[in-house]
Amino acid sequence: MISRRDFLYRAAAVGGTGLMLNTMSAWGMGIASRTSEPPALSGSGKGRKVVILGAGLAGMTAAYELGKLGYEVRVLEARDFAGGRCQTARKGFALTELGGEEQRCRFDEGQYINHGPWRIPLHHQSTLHYTRLFEVPLEVMVNDNDHSIVYLENGGPLARQRLRPAQIKADMRGHVAELLAKSVKDNQLDQQLSVDDKRLLLDYLAHEGQLDAGDLRYKGRSGRGYAVNPGAGMTPGPGAASDPLGFKELLASRVGNVYSAVQDFPMQNTMFQPVGGMDRIAKAFEKRVGRHIRYRAEVQSLRHGENNVTVTYKDTASGKLQSVTADFCLCTIPLSVLRMVDTDFSPGFKAAIKQVAYAPVGKIGLQMKRRFWEEDDQIYGGHVLTDIKGINTISLPSSGWQKKKGVLLGYYNYQTAAIEVSAMTPQERADFALAAGEKIFPAYRESFDSAFSVAWHRVQYNLGGWADWNDDSRKNAYPKLLEGEGRVLLAGEHLSYLTGWQAGAIESAWQQLARIHERASA
Amino acid sequence: MISRRDFLYRAAAVGGTGLMLNTMSAWGMGIASRTSEPPALSGSGKGRKVVILGAGLAGMTAAYELGKLGYEVRVLEARDFAGGRCQTARKGFALTELGGEEQRCRFDEGQYINHGPWRIPLHHQSTLHYTRLFEVPLEVMVNDNDHSIVYLENGGPLARQRLRPAQIKADMRGHVAELLAKSVKDNQLDQQLSVDDKRLLLDYLAHEGQLDAGDLRYKGRSGRGYAVNPGAGMTPGPGAASDPLGFKELLASRVGNVYSAVQDFPMQNTMFQPVGGMDRIAKAFEKRVGRHIRYRAEVQSLRHGENNVTVTYKDTASGKLQSVTADFCLCTIPLSVLRMVDTDFSPGFKAAIKQVAYAPVGKIGLQMKRRFWEEDDQIYGGHVLTDIKGINTISLPSSGWQKKKGVLLGYYNYQTAAIEVSAMTPQERADFALAAGEKIFPAYRESFDSAFSVAWHRVQYNLGGWADWNDDSRKNAYPKLLEGEGRVLLAGEHLSYLTGWQAGAIESAWQQLARIHERASA
């Protein structure tokens, strides 16, 4: 049975995206393909056993779907809880990074940080399939807030100013629209544009840049914010307009490059988060497949033969070694960790595993005594973008609106910056975050309660935020790893083009469990 | 005591917005002024009585704040519930428009439509002051969703297509950036731009339009959506790119004019709504001032003298006439209704009241058996914009994500269209909305459960959606009405530049109650 997605993919291969779009249109699908459901599998897995390594979302997805088909599933999970990176730090949550001291989260009841995945794009229908099926309540995660702040240390003439994205967007687009309108009026584009096109383009530019209808100049607009907001009576009455930022200053600051009129595919103005924390998804899976999970089971070795796979694991509580033998193994262990497991994979397969780099990623949650970003600055969610080294973004919570306290994300760093910051102690990381934040928010440091940080590359069972593919590894290692070896198949975000997203883990699991079922049914 | 807002307003008057912005910056206020609190009044209103006409948000704000100061307040409300236009239609809610049949809402438990105000902008700090103070839980109202649909009947070459805003934005901006980049490269803008500016502008355009780094051409981008979304494994793997819409088609369709990179001031990507319905705000006020409200009290006449005001009202239950005499009267009755009340206002004041037009406004809520917009089209909240006559927008609910049923807003019409549609019976209005919606959503009609519609200009105690000022009435009537007459002052959204917004009602009440207190204290 061919899925709609497969059909479309083939249509694209044969007739280009035009044919595909026509097909989709004929199906009433508009621009989006519907890839929201687990593979529709028939038959039964009764009498077959699958050992699944890792109780993250990939592992639990496979356990859930294979379990429904009648397979005997056994999930080995090194931690004492399920979810993999789908974690939420709240009061009592403990983490000891490799070579680090133990952190125990001291947030107030009801406060938390999603220090792993933290947002669900609206078109990640696979993740949304399970939140719907398992009735995990969702709420909007404000991913783009034009009333937030951008703060650049290296912003040329606009350096170290608290700029609002709406200002920047309005003024950059306004000036650019004015410039292009001038070109059109001066007949400089007559080669490219017909008389009709010119008229329509001027009309569009006047709209897009909100140009003065008379001279097509940009003179500011309400959307950039007022100097004094409109209100009642005569004072403030209509409010007072604000002056646009100068075109040359904007250009020299390069701040226009921070935002784009269109976000990249996985990003949207609004995304979703589960009410109460991202781990509500993990808990929902765990409720359904928890009986198949062996916790504190650290995989030591894997041996596979023609008829079965044997996995030996250490019970980290007792230190005892135990084994599971199964017809198939679905391994969702991150490649960064798997490379260190004693396996009898072929040298080529081992080399493929080792070829994949993992991204150093750091995050810190800071509980604040007072939601000063809401109270003082009227910022309700979204990201404060900055070029302060090692920070990238200060992200404001999309829950607990108008309450007293809140936990914000104090930094979200990658690569070199993540490695540098993660070398600090938890206390030093908090200090580092506070020193940056107080440049932007006067009340930052005085409002600080407590912190919880993670450096995923230093977390024992992850050793990285996500698989960090490059062209070479995608070309050479990826197909090999997708294939698996013998009766061992791999799944996880790393085996998708949705790297680092929960949807990647789920969709990869869907693909690989379908292959297991196909082979088991053969 | 001068408020910050007053000071800023004067700074602007003296030194222009530059001085004002500097002042604000010195106060750490960034671009937004803080106008979020009721007037700080000292002294006591003990022994003074104020009769307030109307228990909408303006009336209840005044009752709450004056009550705190010790005034004896009496609120006369014609309806049998408080809130004015701040209403929510849910199971059992009844409405009989003038000359119309009774509608009784038949939505399922938990389903509702905010048929009056339905969104709270993030900078309406006055409204947010009370939601915070009264602990009214808020949730995000998705006001802008790039994954929604725009559908134009008169869209030229793109007519009657289900276009996604993200497509349109990406392609319009991409083509426009490419065009301007070409002008810059061809040295057509050398008079306006220095060599440095040119380099920086090209850099910005390449970013903004996501142009090919080599030839600076626009060739599509991920943010416009894929033909096949990326996923796991090799199929779909990286997904399949989608082809941009042509520049000439876009221009000819004029669909680029539907959206702007920057929204007008009161609009943002995300806004707020109270969890459970907008009337939660009304209920929160009512809980605190309800004991002062006389319901079913329809104002018949108003007489004011040097020392007091007497209001006569009819108890609509018994039909009996009663009177209240007070030191002051704060009248929040819409001008459209007030003009018909028997008053002894001066001819000039009466003329001012009559000069203000009220906007015909219609809305319809349609309960759908299935959230097809989420399930079939992955649209989670936001607006479907259309030029179908009388519809304007089909707005999808921002609550109950992934649940079974939902109530969407089937149209939101104004002026002539509102008058035309409101002439229909409730059943005909529902049919009208369904006929439009099914052009865009195949499952629209088959999913329909029941409807509830309102035409505000036909609602007895409103006779319009909001005050519809023009330059003439703002100039001549507005100052007079703000002044009030004798011991009668007016308040409401109509006496603000936030017309039609709850914040206008609240801020107007703040101003007028401060004036009452000033005079009472004199």
For residue A19, the number of C-alpha atoms closer than 13 Å in the C-beta half-sphere is: 10
Distance from the Cα of B516 to chain A's closest Cα (Å) equals 15
Please, are residues B178 and B216 in contact by the beta-carbon 8 Å criterion? yes
Dist CA A203 CA B253 (whole Å): 12
Instruction: Mark yes or no for CB contact A207/B144 under 8 Å.
Output: no
How many residue pairs bridge chain A and chain B with CB atoms within 8 Å of each other? 366
DSSP-derived 3-state class of residue A13? helix
Distance from the Cα of A98 to chain B's closest Cα (Å) equals 31
Dist CA A277 CA A111 (whole Å): 9
Q: How does DSSP classify residue B402?
A: T
Residue with tokens 């929040």: B332
Please, are residues A299 and A78 in contact by the beta-carbon 8 Å criterion? yes
Please, are residues B459 and B386 in contact by the beta-carbon 8 Å criterion? no
Cβ count within 10 A of residue A479: 13
How much of chain B exceeds pLDDT 90, in percent?
89
Instruction: Mark yes or no for CB contact A21/B147 under 8 Å.
Output: no
Instruction: Mark yes or no for CB contact B228/A511 under 8 Å.
Output: no
Question: Sorting pLDDT into bands at 50, 70 and 90, what band is A26?
Answer: very low
What are the DSSP calls for B446-496, one per residue? TTEEEEEEEEGGGSTTTSSSSEE--HHHHHHHHHHHHH-BTTEEE-SGGGB
A333 burial via Cβ count (<10 Å: 0-12, 13-18, 19+):
buried
Please tell me which of the candidates A204, A264, A495 has its beta carbon nearest to residue B233. Answer: A495
Exposure letters B378-405 (e unless 16+ CB within 10 A, then b): bbbbbbbbbbbebbbbbbbbbbbbbeeb
Dist CA A72 CA A277 (whole Å): 31
Dist CA B77 CA B286 (whole Å): 12
Dist CA B511 CA B62 (whole Å): 10
Q: Using one digit for the tens of pLDDT, what is the confidence trace for A349-373?
A: 999 999 999 999 999 999 999 999 9
On chain A, the residues whose CB falls within 8 A of the CB of B260 are 207-208, 210, 223
Cβ count within 10 A of residue A377: 26
Whole-angstrom Cα Rg for chain B: 26
**Those residues with Cβ within 8 angstroms of residue B343's Cβ, 6 or more apart along the chain or in another chain:** B301, B302, B303, B350
Cis before residue B236, ω within 30 degrees of 0?
yes
**Those residues with Cβ within 8 angstroms of residue B268's Cβ, 6 or more apart along the chain or in another chain:** A145, A146, A147, B121, B122, B143, B144
On chain B, the residues whose CB falls within 8 A of the CB of A151 are none
Dist CA B166 CA B413 (whole Å): 25
Q: Which of A198, A378, A441, A489 to mutate to test the interface with B (most CBs of B within 10 A)?
A: A378
Question: Sorting pLDDT into bands at 50, 70 and 90, what band is A8?
Answer: low
Residue-level length of chain B: 522
On chain B, the residues whose CB falls within 8 A of the CB of A221 are 262, 264
Please, are residues B72 and B50 in contact by the beta-carbon 8 Å criterion? yes
On chain B, the residues whose CB falls within 8 A of the CB of A35 are 229, 231, 236
Predicted pLDDT at A108: 98
Going by C-alpha positions, the residue among A517, A383, A417, A519 that lies closest to residue A42 is A517
Please, are residues A208 and A173 in contact by the beta-carbon 8 Å criterion? yes
Going by C-alpha positions, the residue among A34, A518, A82 that lies closest to residue A285 is A82
With a cut of 70, list the residues of chain B below it in pLDDT: 1-35
Going by C-alpha positions, the residue among B512, B370, B357, B362 that lies closest to residue B447 is B370
Going by C-alpha positions, the residue among B334, B322, B293, B280 that lies closest to residue B62 is B293
Distance from the Cα of A169 to chain B's closest Cα (Å) equals 7
Please, are residues A240 and A91 in contact by the beta-carbon 8 Å criterion? no
The two structure tokens encoding residue B176: 């426009």
Predicted pLDDT at B34: 43
Predicted pLDDT at B236: 93
Closest residue in B to A503 (Cα–Cα): B231
Q: Using one digit for the tens of pLDDT, what is the confidence trace for B241-288?
A: 999 999 999 999 999 999 887 888 888 899 999 999 999 999 999 999
What is the phi/psi pair of residue B99, to 5°? Answer: 75, 10
Give A470-474's long-range contacts (Cβ < 8 A, gap of 24+). Answer: A470/A357, A472/A355, A473/A355, A473/A356, A473/A357
* Helices of type H across A186-255: 195-208, 247-253
More confident residue, A188 or B10: A188
Dist CA B331 CA B328 (whole Å): 10
Please tell me which of the candidates B8, B182, B223 has its beta carbon nearest to residue A228. Answer: B8
Please tell me which of the candidates B132, B169, B196 has its beta carbon nearest to residue A262. Answer: B169
- Is the pLDDT assigned to residue A33 strictly greater than 80? no
Dist CA B229 CA B227 (whole Å): 6
Give the full edge-to-edge strand order of the sheet including B488-490.
Answer: B293-294, B72-76, B49-53, B328-331, B488-490
What is the phi/psi pair of residue B383, to 5°? Answer: -120, 140
Q: How does DSSP classify residue B522?
A: -
Predicted pLDDT at B157: 96
Instruction: Mark yes or no for CB contact A229/B495 under 8 Å.
Output: no
Instruction: Mark yes or no for CB contact B140/A270 under 8 Å.
Output: yes
Q: How does DSSP classify residue B391?
A: T
Q: Using one digit for the tens of pLDDT, what is the confidence trace for A104-131?
A: 999 999 999 999 999 999 989 999 999 9
Its ipTM equals 0.92
Instruction: Mark yes or no for CB contact B188/A192 under 8 Å.
Output: no
On chain A, the residues whose CB falls within 8 A of the CB of B62 are none
Dist CA B437 CA B431 (whole Å): 10
On chain B, the residues whose CB falls within 8 A of the CB of A201 are 176, 251
The kind and range of the H/E element at A95 are: strand A94-96
Please, are residues B342 and B300 in contact by the beta-carbon 8 Å criterion? yes
B314 burial via Cβ count (<10 Å: 0-12, 13-18, 19+):
middle
Describe chain A by its helix, strand, coil percentages, rounded to 5.
35, 20, 45
- Is the pLDDT assigned to residue A27 strictly greater than 50? no
Distance from the Cα of B73 to chain A's closest Cα (Å) equals 23
Q: Using one digit for the tens of pLDDT, what is the confidence trace for A154-181?
A: 999 999 999 999 999 999 999 999 999 9
Distance from the Cα of B348 to chain A's closest Cα (Å) equals 19
Dist CA A435 CA A367 (whole Å): 15
Dist CA B53 CA B341 (whole Å): 12
Instruction: Mark yes or no for CB contact A28/B376 under 8 Å.
Output: yes
Dist CA A501 CA A271 (whole Å): 13
Q: Using one digit for the tens of pLDDT, what is the confidence trace for A427-455?
A: 999 999 999 999 999 999 999 999 999 99
Tell me the mean pLDDT in the region A72-92: 98
Q: Which of A158, A262, A376, A482 to mutate to test the interface with B (most CBs of B within 10 A)?
A: A262
**Position B423: which residue type?**
A
The two structure tokens encoding residue A179: 């410039």
Torsion angle of the four alpha carbons A260, A264, A269, A271, in this order, in degrees rounded to the nearest 10: -160
Please, are residues A53 and A341 in contact by the beta-carbon 8 Å criterion? no
Q: Are strands A321-326 and A361-368 parallel, antiparallel or unpaired?
A: unpaired
**Position A426: which residue type?**
P
Q: Using one digit for the tens of pLDDT, what is the confidence trace for B454-506?
A: 999 999 999 999 999 999 999 999 999 999 999 999 999 999 999 999 999 99
Predicted pLDDT at B27: 47
Residue with tokens 């017809």: A327
Please, are residues B333 and B459 in contact by the beta-carbon 8 Å criterion? no
Dist CA B217 CA B206 (whole Å): 9
Distance from the Cα of B461 to chain A's closest Cα (Å) equals 22
Question: Sorting pLDDT into bands at 50, 70 and 90, what band is A15?
Answer: low
Please tell me which of the candidates B30, B34, B222 has its beta carbon nearest to residue A162. Answer: B30
- Is the pLDDT assigned to residue A12 strictly greater than 80? no
The kind and range of the H/E element at B58 are: helix B57-68
DSSP-derived 3-state class of residue B160? coil
- Is the pLDDT assigned to residue A17 strictly greater than 70? no
Please, are residues B132 and A13 in contact by the beta-carbon 8 Å criterion? no
First to last CA, chain B: 16
Q: Are strands B488-490 and B328-331 parallel, antiparallel or unpaired?
A: parallel
Going by C-alpha positions, the residue among B454, B136, B493, B152 that lies closest to residue B287 is B136
On chain A, the residues whose CB falls within 8 A of the CB of B28 are 376, 442
Backbone φ/ψ region at A298: left (φ over 0), alpha (ψ -120 to 50), beta: beta
Distance from the Cα of A489 to chain B's closest Cα (Å) equals 12
The kind and range of the H/E element at A321 are: strand A321-326
- All domains of chain B in start order, with CATH: 1-34 (no CATH), 38-80+295-355+470-521 (3.50.50.60), 89-144+268-277+360-458 (3.90.660.10), 164-257 (1.20.1440.240)
Please, are residues B207 and B177 in contact by the beta-carbon 8 Å criterion? no
The two structure tokens encoding residue B147: 């994954």
Going by C-alpha positions, the residue among B179, B447, B376, B358 that lies closest to residue A28 is B376
Q: What is the largest CA-CA distance in chain A?
A: 85
Predicted pLDDT at B110: 97
Predicted pLDDT at B33: 37
